[in-house]
Chains A and B, each alone.
Chain A
């Protein structure tokens, strides 16, 4: 089995978000970048397929050379080969077109992406890829088993979960649940050393349009101070929620 894990290079979840250039760009100053958490759960599941079922695991991302440390981290965790599509990831449609080209040329059986990146939250890349490539697709995937050509996937739905039966080739939009938080791996020294010798292929993008452009960003408005209610007077909280906030 040949697996491609699509990873996005995103600000660490603890990052404070600021904008620059007249609020037209995300301010990367002082921000640490990591593998998108939804993708990292998928990468870790891919490692399981590699170790238990002998899968080959490649990782791909769209970006300039500043994303290479994130690809190297994925290689240090255990991916066999990295691919960087040398282009700015302008929007979800553009990124999906680039990754679809890699999937088409690489003959992958399973493509693991995240349900969304935690920066631009587009959530469309795996679905667009699946449609362009006519592959089966399961989103918000929280469990995946593969037996030969058959796949059983679990999907989170509003208020529960669903079991889906499908076949390879398959694309999933993964999230926490594919593996547990405690299964995530921190690269060890040996992994880091080995990662340096692994192939990281840089490929040119294909010609594709962007369908959307972010023109301006803003931060959420500052919040007013909290109204404190005395723990001995809970009735006041109910009155406030009923009369002032009008939510009960």
Chain B
């Protein structure tokens, strides 16, 4: 018996979220007196998972699994969980992991809890803390089913090293044509730029920026910080920025280390969506903007003066601090 963790990769490289869920799985395994087995699909260096406490890696190399397919990947994880007789399976909160979560839960007849922000409080009964009501609250949820799936919220646990010699075993699960009823025909993805899901820093603009032509400074600021760009709901509704950048209750959730809101007043729906970020900075010319109540640091001022100044000072800072 082991705790099974699905460690995601992209182009053969493990994602940061994979290392975080592996770290989390080690914590759960320690609580249960078990070891961690990772499932790694087409990963170049699976043994590196040992750094985060993984004792065994089921390494899958299969051309048919080259691109993500939710049903096929869920089938692979389910077969690994069955082989390991796993009662606990850990996944991340990426779009792909959330896509396969329901499929996996049904296959394993498991109780699945997404958006989990802390290690299990108790393992008998099995209780985890998760966000609910789109970050406006937390729930302490007991998983009563025999098999439990935990979706770990991004950046909630962090990377914890537990150096272990990971034994890599080749794993050749059955992959059926029937798994590919929904086929990817095109992936349109920005390369070489941080995404809202993975970035440590997100720079976000609102209606206070007055128009899409003013996003140059947002892009520049994000570029200096290695940050992803985002926007408020009105901005995406107006078509100033693509929907994929809309963060908030009905857009993407943000759980990043630093969230910089520029010209965003802070509607309750927006604040809910970004509240999981650790440090929040607001720049707004209206001192009464609700975002000031939710932020850690604030600048009351005109974004068109403050942001260029911030860019200049950050360039100096980066120059001195690499």
Please list the residues of chain A having a beta carbon within 8 angstroms of any beta carbon in chain B.
11, 13-14, 16-17, 19, 26, 37-38, 91-93, 96, 115, 118-132, 136-140, 142, 153, 155-167, 170, 175-177, 180-182, 209-220, 223, 226-231, 234-235, 237-238, 240-242, 245, 247-248
A13 contacts B250, C-beta separation under 8 Å: yes
Cβ-closest chain B residue relative to A120: B132
A223: which of B95, B135, B293 is its contact (CB, 8 Å)?
B293
Cβ of B159 under 8 Å from chain A: no
A14: which of B143, B196, B268, B314 is its contact (CB, 8 Å)?
B268
B198 contacts A158, C-beta separation under 8 Å: yes
A157: which of B189, B237, B314 is its contact (CB, 8 Å)?
B189
Given A157-B187, A163-B184, A163-B185: A176 touches B251 (CB 8 Å cut-off):
yes
Cβ-closest chain B residue relative to A228: B298
Cβ of B301 under 8 Å from chain A: yes
Please list the residues of chain B having a beta carbon within 8 angstroms of any beta carbon in chain A.
70-71, 74, 94-96, 98-103, 105-107, 109-115, 127, 131-145, 181-190, 193, 195-198, 200-201, 225, 233, 236-237, 243-244, 246, 249-251, 257-258, 267-269, 275, 278-279, 281-282, 292-302, 305-306, 309-310, 313-314, 317, 321
A247 contacts B201, C-beta separation under 8 Å: yes
The 8 closest A-B pairs by CB, nearest first: A127-B102, A231-B301, A211-B111, A159-B195, A160-B189, A131-B106, A158-B197, A211-B145
A226: which of B132, B188, B282 is its contact (CB, 8 Å)?
B282
A interface, by DSSP: helix, strand, loop or mixed?
Answer: mixed
CA distance A122 to B317 in the complex (A): 42
Contacts of A247 in B (CB 8 A): 200-201, 257-258, 278-279
A93 contacts B299, C-beta separation under 8 Å: no
Contacts of A137 in B (CB 8 A): 70-71, 103, 182
B102 contacts A248, C-beta separation under 8 Å: no
Contacts of A180 in B (CB 8 A): 237
Contacts of B246 in A (CB 8 A): 176
Closest chain B CB from A155 CB (angstroms):
8
B141 contacts A241, C-beta separation under 8 Å: no
Cβ-closest chain A residue relative to B102: A127
A218 contacts B137, C-beta separation under 8 Å: yes
A231 contacts B305, C-beta separation under 8 Å: yes
CA distance A234 to B321 in the complex (A): 17
A223 contacts B294, C-beta separation under 8 Å: yes
A-B CB contact pairs (8 Å), 7 listed: A123-B101, A156-B244, A159-B198, A162-B186, A163-B188, A227-B296, A241-B279
CA distance A208 to B109 in the complex (A): 12
Given A158-B198, A227-B296: A118 touches B99 (CB 8 Å cut-off):
no
B132: which of A121, A124, A181 is its contact (CB, 8 Å)?
A121
Given A164-B185, A220-B138: A245 touches B250 (CB 8 Å cut-off):
no
Interface centre among B109, B197, B296 (most CB of A within 10 A): B296
A237 contacts B250, C-beta separation under 8 Å: no
Contacts of A26 in B (CB 8 A): 133
CA distance A228 to B228 in the complex (A): 24
CA distance A167 to B100 in the complex (A): 19
Contacts of A96 in B (CB 8 A): 102, 106
Contacts of A235 in B (CB 8 A): 313
CA distance A96 to B197 in the complex (A): 27
CA distance A96 to B111 in the complex (A): 12
Cβ-closest chain A residue relative to B308: A234
B183 contacts A164, C-beta separation under 8 Å: yes
Closest chain A CB from B116 CB (angstroms):
11
B127: which of A130, A132, A215, A245 is its contact (CB, 8 Å)?
A215
Contacts of A248 in B (CB 8 A): 201, 225, 258, 314, 317
Cβ-closest chain A residue relative to B131: A121
CA distance A129 to B124 in the complex (A): 29
B295: which of A125, A138, A216, A226 is its contact (CB, 8 Å)?
A226
Contacts of B299 in A (CB 8 A): 228-231, 234, 237
B190 contacts A231, C-beta separation under 8 Å: no
B188 contacts A160, C-beta separation under 8 Å: yes
Closest chain B CB from A174 CB (angstroms):
12
Given A13-B250, A121-B132: A245 touches B258 (CB 8 Å cut-off):
yes
Given A212-B143, A218-B137, A231-B300: A142 touches B193 (CB 8 Å cut-off):
no
A19 contacts B137, C-beta separation under 8 Å: yes
Contacts of B257 in A (CB 8 A): 247
B132 contacts A136, C-beta separation under 8 Å: no
Contacts of B185 in A (CB 8 A): 163-165
Cβ-closest chain A residue relative to B189: A160
CA distance A29 to B257 in the complex (A): 35
B237 contacts A182, C-beta separation under 8 Å: yes
Additional pairs, 16, CB under 8 Å, beyond known A121-B114, A131-B74, A219-B137: A93-B105, A121-B134, A123-B101, A125-B102, A127-B101, A136-B181, A159-B196, A159-B198, A211-B145, A213-B141, A216-B140, A220-B135, A227-B297, A229-B299, A241-B258, A245-B297
